[in-house]
Structure 1
Amino acid sequence: MNKTLYTVLAYLKLTKPIITLSVSFSALTGFVLFSKAFSDGWLVVYLGVLLIAAGSSVINQIQEADSDKLMERTRNRPIPTGIVGKKQAWLWAALLSVSGALILGYQFNLLTSVLAVFTLLWYNGIYTPLKRITPWAILPGALVGAIPPAIGWVAAGGSLIHPHILFLSFFFFIGQIPHFWLILLRYGEDYQKAGFPSITSTFNTEQISRLTFVWTTATAIAAVFLSVFGIIKSLTIAFIILGLSLVLVISFYKWPGIKRPALVNRAFMIMNLYFLLIMLLIIADSIL
């Protein structure tokens, strides 16, 4: 592979593109939910959140570079392998983060930019260091997934204390928890090897899988309540969400005790697909 292309791909990998694209899409969901259309600025809010989320991801990889060397899952990342130096990574993170914050602040309002910067500071300044202290860092860390929809909502002109965005953010908050349990089921030993406190030392695999099922069910129930809170207005879409939520719960019904990595990976994909479909349905309901 061409060396220049290899380096470009390394810098791209630092941004965790799949995660950042998902985060940006949740912000777009909040934007369309308020504006009821792909009104002026929808692409800008997507780009702004994408840039600052990418910058946050780069900072995270700088912070955890030493730990990443010790874990099978992360040892081939650009910084542990030496493809990208920490100084270059910091410059890349600054360029991305500052650009995102300026774009959001200039195009929309100060609160939009402040929320985005707060998310970065919370993720990199609170959640990431807290992972070294307690295995329950996911609880405050889940806030990171709840804020992006609010960023989009506020960018479109919505109030931060409106019940619709508060409940939508709550839904995304709840959904972060089973994601974390799934990662623990798959990579718990890896985390312990790198020195992270892990609940795998407190709970066995069966107990963690039961917790995953409980939080997955809570996520499905929260999705159904989107129509109760008036976020979803179409009866047809409400029934589709009900059906998807039932499928999600049923697919996890026999989960307690599952240990095979292939099944954990499958469950992770199902959860990600579920969230993508819910966001698409919220957008469809808003514009139709």
Structure 2
Amino acid sequence: MSLPAPTPADAATAPARAGRRGLRATAGAYVALTKPRIIELLLVTTLPTMVVARRGLPPLWLMAATLAGGALAAGGANAMNMVADRDIDRLMKRTEKRPLVTGAMTPRAALVFALALEVAAFVELWLAVNVLSALLAVSATLFYVFVYTLWLKRRSAQNIVIGGAAGAVPVLVGWAAVTNRLALAPLVLFAIIFIWTPPHFWALAIRYRDDYEAAGVPMMPVVTTIERTASEIIAYTAALVV
């Protein structure tokens, strides 16, 4: 059975349909650039910290403003990470479909987008929450991009041990959003997440060891044995429990 021939109406609407598909694809690429699942993980630590700091449920507007600013800051940091890592992302199966690898956007467009997110995050947190939370959020981005991504990631097997500090900052942001200061309690929460981060990422690195080796990233399982990495995971986990 042959397919029906396209009608004049089909031909007339085809460009519009193609345009909508292109717009959706572009929007999807920008969303992927922010690594939404990582943002979710970071915000999961922010909200409970706000509840602890308040000793109850904070005002809805404050929670919304803090989470929005945190999402913008984390999204910008993740986008900058993709810009910096685009050369090694194309070498790893896990990351070969990222927007800058597939050509869905240019590095310049991605960098402009990332910087816009960071500016928006700082302004939003400063105006809607407080300046301390804004400074903490931006400091996490600077640490993640310059210390972890550009310096440690390709040079040291301890990259995630030190660089993981950036992922612990959201608890400080959450506490500062409620109290406008820091205290011992949020620093303890920071330390817990800081210690949790290496074993979590080393477990993933074992799974993707071949990818990291192909890209020349000195993750723990690449530069030493799986057994040694497992021992480090156990040691950090024990420290976390203690």
State TM-score, norm by structure 1: 0.73
Q: CA deviation at 1:62?
A: 0.3
Q: Would the aligned equivalents of 1:34 and 1:158 in 2 still touch at CA under 8 Å?
A: no
State the match for 1:131 in structure 2. Answer: 153
State the match for 2:195 in structure 1. Answer: 174
State the match for 2:167 in structure 1. Answer: 145
* Distance of 1:19 and 1:199 partners within structure 2: 21
Question: Runs of 5+ in structure 2 lacking a partner?
Answer: 1-17
Please say if 1:65 is aligned against 2:86: yes
Deviations 1:26-81 (A, max 9, x none): 12222221112132411110010001100100000000001101111111110011
Local SS of the residue matching 1:197: coil
CA RMSD of superposed structures (Å): 1.6
Amino acid at match of 1:217: A
Q: Would the aligned equivalents of 1:111 and 1:154 in 2 still touch at CA under 8 Å?
A: yes
Deviations 1:147-192 (A, max 9, x none): 11011101111531x2211111111111111112112101122112
Local SS of the residue matching 1:75: coil
Q: Would the aligned equivalents of 2:202 and 2:221 in 1 still touch at CA under 8 Å?
A: no
Q: CA deviation at 1:112?
A: 1.0
Give matches, 1:153-232, under 5 Å.
153-160=175-182, 162-219=183-240, 221=241
State the match for 2:36 in structure 1. Answer: 17
Amino acid at match of 2:219: S
State the match for 2:8 in structure 1. Answer: none
Q: CA deviation at 1:199?
A: 2.7
Local SS of the residue matching 2:99: coil
Count of residues in Structure 1 that have an aligned counterpart in Structure 2: 220
Q: CA deviation at 1:201?
A: 4.2
State the match for 1:33 in structure 2. Answer: 52
Amino acid at match of 2:68: L
* Distance of 1:124 and 1:3 partners within structure 2: 30
State the match for 1:109 in structure 2. Answer: 130
Q: Would the aligned equivalents of 1:56 and 1:123 in 2 still touch at CA under 8 Å?
A: yes
* Distance of 1:159 and 1:200 partners within structure 2: 39
Local SS of the residue matching 1:41: helix
- Greater displacement, 189-198 / 46-55: 189-198
State the match for 1:240 in structure 2. Answer: none
State the match for 2:104 in structure 1. Answer: 83
State TM-score, norm by structure 2: 0.86
State the match for 1:282 in structure 2. Answer: none
Local SS of the residue matching 1:25: helix
Amino acid at match of 2:51: V
- Cα distance change on mapping 1:30 and 1:66 into 2, 3 Å: same
Q: Would the aligned equivalents of 1:69 and 1:75 in 2 still touch at CA under 8 Å?
A: yes
Local SS of the residue matching 1:184: helix
* Distance of 1:16 and 1:52 partners within structure 2: 12
Q: Identity rate of aligned residues, in percent? A: 31
Deviations 1:223-274 (A, max 9, x none): xxxxxxxxxxxxxxxxxxxxxxxxxxxxxxxxxxxxxxxxxxxxxxxxxxxx
Q: CA deviation at 1:11?
A: 0.9
Amino acid at match of 2:36: P
Q: CA deviation at 1:194?
A: 0.8
Local SS of the residue matching 1:156: helix
Q: Tell which structure's C-alpha radius of gyration is larger.
A: 2
Q: CA deviation at 1:114?
A: 0.7
* Distance of 1:198 and 1:48 partners within structure 2: 31
State the match for 1:4 in structure 2. Answer: 23
